[in-house]
Each structure stands twice: as C-alpha cells, then as structure tokens.
Amino acid sequence: MVVKGFLFAGLGIVLVVYLITLVRGGFVKPTWFQQLVGFVTAFFDTLGIGSFATTTSIYKLKNMVPVKLMPGTLNVGHTLPTITQAFIYTKIVPVESRTLVLMIVAAVLGSLAGVGVVVHWPRRKIQIGMGLALLGAAVLLLMTLFNLFPAGGDTLGLSGARLWSGLGGNFVLGVLMMLGIGLYGPCMILVYLLGMNPTAAFPIMMGSCAFLMPIASMRFVRTRRYHVQATWGLAIGAVPAVLIAAFLVTSLSLTAVRWLVLFVVVYTALNMLMTAGQPDTSRDLAGAEVA
C-alpha cells in the first residue's frame, strides 16, 4: 500500500505537469463534435475497446486532423482520461507493487526514446506507420471477438526472466505509443503470455500510459506537433465518459460495437496505406494555431 501511495502521489504530480503543459500550449475552443469524439472514444476505452484506433479512424474519415499531427493529438488529448482511469483501477485492482512500478518505468523510458523520433518524421512515414498500427489494432479486435487471447495465469507479479521479458515488452510498447499505437491491447496480451492474472493488466497498462503520456506530451506541445483544438475536444469530452463507464455502467454488450469498430478501423487503415503518397486533404493546421 505504501508503494501505491507513492504511485498516487506521482500521478498527482504528472497531472499537474500535464495541465500546465496543456495550458501553456494555448487554448482553442473545441467544437461540439470534437468533444463528442472525446466522450465516445474515452467511454469505450474505459470498457476495454481502446481509444487510439477509434479516434484515428474518426479523424481520418472526417478529415479533422492532419496526419502528421495525429500522434501528438492522440497522446496529448487522451492523457487526462488516462490519468483518471489509472487513479480508479490502480486503487481497486490488485497487482504486485514492484512489478507495477518497473513496468511503468519501462514504458516511460520507451516513450522518451520514441517521441524524439516521431516528432521529426515526415507525414508519409507517419501515415504508413499509423496505417500498419490500425491493422494491428484490427487483429487485436478480432482476437477479442473470437476469444483468442491467452488464458493467463493467477500470479499478480513477475520475477526473473519473466520480469525482464515484461520490461522489454513494455519498453517497446512505450516506443510504439508515440506513433499512435495504443498500448492497452498489446500490454494485455503481454501480461497474459507472462502468466499473470488477467485483471493485473488493468493497473499495469493504465498506469504505464498515465505516466508516459504526460511526459511525451511536453515534447509534442513544445514542437507544436499536435492539433490544439482537437486536443482540447478530447480532454474536455473524455473525463465525464470515464467516470460514467467506470462507476455507472454495470452491464453492456460490446460485441456489436467491436464489430463496427473493426470495420471502420480496417477501412481507415487501408485508406491510409493507399493514400500515403498523396497530399493531405485534411483542413491542414486549422485549429492547430492558437487563437
């Protein structure tokens, strides 16, 4: 409990740092639709569907955000709801403290390595990377729909070779987060493969994202590689959705929603890959500039 107390204190610190970073980046009043995107994606993210793939699909299909700004917008915009999720699930879901802390540190180190690369990538490379990322997300959705995830075990912590494997895996996932590849699904598979209790994945994956995303956000904001207006839409719309999904939703069939998300994600992925060499037709930097 002492370690979790330090984690909560750490979450409080990164929350303050994030809010300062977000405000310093400037404010552009989001549209109702941008806030709706934040609400819907965070709601289903809290229930386990994920937010990066769904948000990317909406942005691409509606031409809302330039591709080169998507990784930053996803990471900066979804930070606040992710910290909220971490506060909730780290408190109520049991997991061995040493494993939790080390897995979080590994993911943060991975994000620091990844963000320095992504902020300098050209649009075409980012679009190809995100297209491949969406196909990966589609595979994870299919695995969920057909119950193909590993069974997992009953341990709440890792040691020895399994711990090192987990740290290496979470480091890589931290790197990939900076490209817009959601950590939740891959981290859940990693935890299962290492023989841990499936519920232990929740504080690990949410804690990892809650610490790495604010730190990475500082780099995205400083380099202006994010869409200010869309980011505020995600942040404002998302927190109420997290609270509703976590505390008020007791039963909801997500099968039909997952099939719909799967279709949209695959379509968006193929569209991104096939149009990677064409000019970006989104409303370029509209809303990315501070009013």
Domain segments of the chain as ranges: 2-274
Q: Give which of 89, 291, 56, 272 is closest to 182, Cα–Cα.
A: 56
Residues 6+ apart with CB under 8 A from 41: 51, 54, 55, 58, 78, 234, 238
Task: Give pLDDT < 50 ranges for the chain.
Answer: 286, 291
196 forms beta bridges with 155
**Radius of gyration for the alpha carbons in the chain, expressed in angstroms and rounded:** 18
28: left (phi over 0), alpha (psi -120 to 50) or beta: beta
| CB-based contact 53:188 (threshold 8 Å) | no
Residue 155's beta-bridge partner residues? Answer: 196
User: What DSSP character marks residue 29?
Assistant: P
Q: Give 96's DSSP letter.
A: -
Quote the pLDDT of residue 41. Answer: 94
**SS3 assignment for 131-189:** HHHHHHHHHHHHHHHCCCCCCCCCECCCCHHHHHHHHHHHHHHHHHHCCCCCCHHHHHH
Cβ atoms of 78 and 55 within 8 Å: the answer is yes
Block residue for tokens 């793939």: 53
Q: pLDDT value at position 126?
A: 85
Nearest alpha carbon to residue 238 among 79, 49, 67, 90: 79
State the pLDDT at residue 251: 65
Between the alpha carbon of residue 272 and those of residues 9, 129, 196, the distances in Å are 40, 9, 36
Under 8 Å between Cβ of 176 and 118: no
pLDDT, residue 4, reads 76
For residue range 61-95, what is the model confidence (pLDDT) as tens digits?
Answer: 899 999 899 999 999 999 999 999 998 888 777 88
Q: What backbone torsions phi and psi does residue 217 show, to the nearest 5 degrees?
A: -60, -35
Residue with tokens 């598979």: 189
DSSP 93: S
Distance CA 116, CA 122 (A): 13
